[in-house]
Amino acid sequence: MNYISTRGAGIGERHTFSDILLGGLAKDGGLYLPAEYPRVSADELARWRTLSYADLAFEVLSKFSDDIPAEDLRALTRRTYTAEVYCNVRSSESAAQITPLKPLGVESGAQLSLLELSNGPTLAFKDMAMQLLGNLFEYTLGKTRQTLNILGATSGDTGSAAEYAMRGKKGVRVFMLSPNQKMSAFQTAQMYSLQDPNIFNIAVEGVFDDCQDIVKAVSNDHAFKANYKIGTVNSINWARVVAQVVYYFKGYFAATQSNDERVSFTVPSGNFGNVCAGHIARMMGLPIEKLVVATNENDVLDEFFTSGIYRVRGSAETYHTSSPSMDISKASNFERFVFDLLGRDPKRVLQLFRDVEEKGGFDLAASGDFARVREFGFVSGSSTHADRVEAIRDVYQRYNTMIDTHTADGLKVAREHLQAGIPMIVLETAQPLKFGETIREALAREPERPAAFAGLEALPQRFEVLPADAQQIKEFIAANVRD
Ligand SMILES: *Cc1c(COP(=O)(O)O)cnc(C)c1O
């Protein structure tokens, strides 16, 4: 399996899965994709139907990572996808399934279900990929006797998944910046209660934007970056995307009796990483009818899929909503889909994303390309705060099921795209516990709390308070990196 950049650099070079695992963008600013998508044969699909999650993950991943010996990869997936790691189920019988499918009911002739992706250690779907990444990093770094220091900024929702994935991993340290005293008590406790010596929580005296600016400043110091082996684990990481392909297969098998059936998926979307994995599953031959992209008020993606216009937003136009993990101004994985939509023409991709940088967007409405989004199964919709409160209330009353705000956006939009006879699977991307305020507003009660989270806020915390100053952050990193 060879990987290429969406912008065409290095055509003719070879990049294996391991080569791109620890990096981010390709050197021309593009994103990596396989030179061609592996196809799944009818025989394979039949055999995969009964596999455990870990063994299904092995089958899917091995099609993308032929440079990792099969026995090593199988050991990695079996170590990652265990009932012990994905233990935060709300119905005790299903932890071994890793991503249980929860049927809600039949609406407009379609079976509506939730695919639970948020039973991992941080109660959000990012654990699905990040836990694998932690094990892949440890494995790859160990083989090449390298170390990596991951630097990131978080407003509370995404940094924790990286920390829980990398805790205790050999060869990896995490330096995570968060705004001091600006996160909820739950978010703060989730991150700062980690006592692992390779996890460094840095509470920056400033706001989230200050944290992000510091990460940029440190990353732009190329000498420091090379010297201290600084890396990131952001959502464009290819291994994260491909790990997410697995649960589309798992969800399909759980929702159908035979491989002749088709299903649709609705995906609460922000950076387009999750639904990009659905697109890849479909390209591999999984019988997916529709991929429904659900956004909140930050509707960059809905605008594209309804009009053909991709227009990134400035910070004044990026809203803070009650589904905050979807509050994005541009969708960082979107370029991967655009590459396929344009028939994999890197010159045109380069031009379009130059237009994004120079003019703030592009318009495919007039070109024949936009008509092809339906051939790829894509449709979309958006949601507001009032919609998600209503969806949370409705699902609770009708199906006795508590959903979080992101899943509620998905459910609202899914209902606009139901087709009789075609099961609709809404990806549950987080548990309600993380978004207690909106749950209380919708239901006048506290969110459900998995047993492992009892008393979390009272645990001792380990963190360092530092000023919003890149130089002092660098000094802190330097003092804590000793090999
Ligand atoms: C990250 C996240 C999303 C958005 O996923 P993308 O891959 O960025 O599209 C949706 N819901 C939750 C809870 C998330 O954490």
CATH number (domain holding residue 158) = 3.40.50.1100
- Which band of pLDDT confidence, cut at 50, 70 and 90, is reported for residue 483? low
pLDDT of residue 92: 63
116 lies in the same domain as 257: yes
251 lies in the same domain as 347: yes
Q: Does the residue 19 lie in any domain? A: no
Rounded mean pLDDT of 154-176? Answer: 92
pLDDT of residue 447: 95
253 lies in the same domain as 391: yes
439-449 per-position pLDDT tens digit: 999 999 999 99
89 contact partners, CB below 8 Å, separation of at least 6 = 95, 100, 116, 119, 450
299 lies in the same domain as 369: yes
Query: How many alpha carbons fall within 13 Å on the CB side of residue 95?
Result: 13
Pocket flag, ligand 1, residue 206 (CB < 6 Å) = no
Where are the alpha helices (H) located in 308-404, listed in sequence order? 334-341, 346-359, 385-399
96 lies in the same domain as 205: no
- Which residues are bridge partners to 150 per DSSP? 174, 231
* Ligand 1 atom having least distance to the Cα of 272: 9
**Burial zone of 445 (CB within 10 Å; 0-12 exposed, 13-18 middle, 19+ buried):** exposed
What angle in degrees, to the nearest 10, is found between the helix axes of 405-414 and 385-399? 80
Atom 2 of ligand 1 has which residue's CA nearest to it?
Answer: 325
pLDDT of residue 93: 65
pLDDT of residue 27: 86
398 lies in the same domain as 465: no
Q: Does the residue 292 lie in any domain? A: yes
92-131 per-position pLDDT tens digit: 668 899 999 999 999 999 999 999 999 999 999 999 999 9
Q: How many domains does the chain fold into?
A: 2
Rg (CA), the chain: 21
Across the chain, mean pLDDT equals: 95
Pocket flag, ligand 1, residue 126 (CB < 6 Å) = yes
Q: At residue 61, does pLDDT exceed 90?
A: yes
d(CA 463, CA 196): 11
Pocket flag, ligand 1, residue 124 (CB < 6 Å) = yes
pLDDT of residue 391: 98
Q: Does the residue 142 lie in any domain? A: no
Rounded mean pLDDT of 411-422? Answer: 98
Q: Does the residue 135 lie in any domain? A: no
Pocket flag, ligand 1, residue 387 (CB < 6 Å) = no
- Which band of pLDDT confidence, cut at 50, 70 and 90, is reported for residue 23? confident
Provide the 8-state DSSP code for 446. P
Distance 323 CA to ligand 1 centre (A): 9
- Which band of pLDDT confidence, cut at 50, 70 and 90, is reported for residue 208? confident
What angle in degrees, to the nearest 10, is found between the helix axes of 334-341 and 273-283? 30
pLDDT of residue 71: 98
Residue 288 structure tokens: 């997916």
pLDDT of residue 466: 97
Q: At residue 334, does pLDDT exceed 80?
A: yes
Q: At residue 228, does pLDDT exceed 90?
A: yes
What angle in degrees, to the nearest 10, is found between the helix axes of 273-283 and 238-255? 60
260 lies in the same domain as 347: yes
Q: Does the residue 54 lie in any domain? A: no
d(CA 41, CA 286): 10
- Which band of pLDDT confidence, cut at 50, 70 and 90, is reported for residue 56? very high
* Ligand 1 atom having least distance to the Cα of 407: 11
Q: At residue 11, does pLDDT exceed 80?
A: no
pLDDT of residue 119: 96
Pocket flag, ligand 1, residue 278 (CB < 6 Å) = no
Q: Does the residue 85 lie in any domain? A: no
Q: Does the residue 348 lie in any domain? A: yes
Q: Which of 460, 224, 430 is nearest to 322 (CA)?
A: 430
Atom 1 of ligand 1 has which residue's CA nearest to it?
Answer: 325
Q: Does the residue 139 lie in any domain? A: no
The answer to whether residues 382 and 307 touch, using CB atoms and an 8 Å cutoff, is no
**Among the ranges given (280-284, 325-329, 475-479), the one the predictor scored with the smallest mean pLDDT:** 325-329
* Ligand 1 atom having least distance to the Cα of 275: 9
272 lies in the same domain as 357: yes
**Among the ranges given (214-228, 253-267, 377-391), the one the predictor scored with the smallest mean pLDDT:** 214-228
d(CA 445, CA 440): 5
In the chain, the largest separation of any two C-alpha atoms, in whole Å, equals 61
d(CA 21, CA 433): 32
In what order do the strands lie in the sheet containing 199-205? 230-231, 148-153, 172-179, 199-205, 464-467
354 lies in the same domain as 314: yes
What do you get for the CA distance between the two ends of the chain, in Å? Answer: 33
Other CB atoms within 10 A of residue 61 CB = 22
pLDDT of residue 241: 96
31-44 per-position pLDDT tens digit: 999 999 999 999 99
Cα dist from 84 to 16, 75, 101, 129, whole Å: 31, 16, 18, 16
Atom 11 of ligand 1 has which residue's CA nearest to it?
Answer: 429
Residue 126 is among the residues annotated as catalytic for this protein: yes
217 lies in the same domain as 244: no
Cα dist from 464 to 163, 180, 183, 477, whole Å: 15, 10, 15, 12
292-316 per-position pLDDT tens digit: 999 999 999 999 999 999 999 988 8
The beta strand positions in 19-171, using DSSP E, are 32-34, 101-107, 110-116, 148-153
The answer to whether residues 104 and 113 touch, using CB atoms and an 8 Å cutoff, is yes
Pocket test for ligand 1, best of 271, 293, 299, 329 (most atoms within 8 A of CB): 271
What percent of the chain lies above the pLDDT cut of 90? 87
Atom 15 of ligand 1 has which residue's CA nearest to it?
Answer: 325
357 contact partners, CB below 8 Å, separation of at least 6 = none
Own/partner contacts of 96-104, CB < 8 Å, gap of 24 or more, are: 96/52, 97/53, 97/250, 97/254, 98/53, 98/54, 98/250, 99/53, 99/128, 99/247, 99/250, 99/251, 100/254, 101/251, 101/254, 101/255, 101/425, 102/401, 102/428, 104/395, 104/398, 104/399, 104/401
Q: Which of 445, 360, 12, 436 is nearest to 185 (CA)?
A: 436
Q: Which of 445, 473, 59, 466 is nearest to 243 (CA)?
A: 59
Pocket flag, ligand 1, residue 271 (CB < 6 Å) = yes
163 lies in the same domain as 101: no
- Which band of pLDDT confidence, cut at 50, 70 and 90, is reported for residue 227? very high
The answer to whether residues 460 and 302 touch, using CB atoms and an 8 Å cutoff, is no
Domain that holds residue 242: 91-123+238-439
d(CA 243, CA 245): 5
438 contact partners, CB below 8 Å, separation of at least 6 = 322, 385, 388, 389, 392, 405
d(CA 453, CA 189): 10
Q: At residue 180, does pLDDT exceed 70?
A: yes
Selecting among 102, 126, 169, 290, the annotated active-site residue is 126
406 lies in the same domain as 316: yes
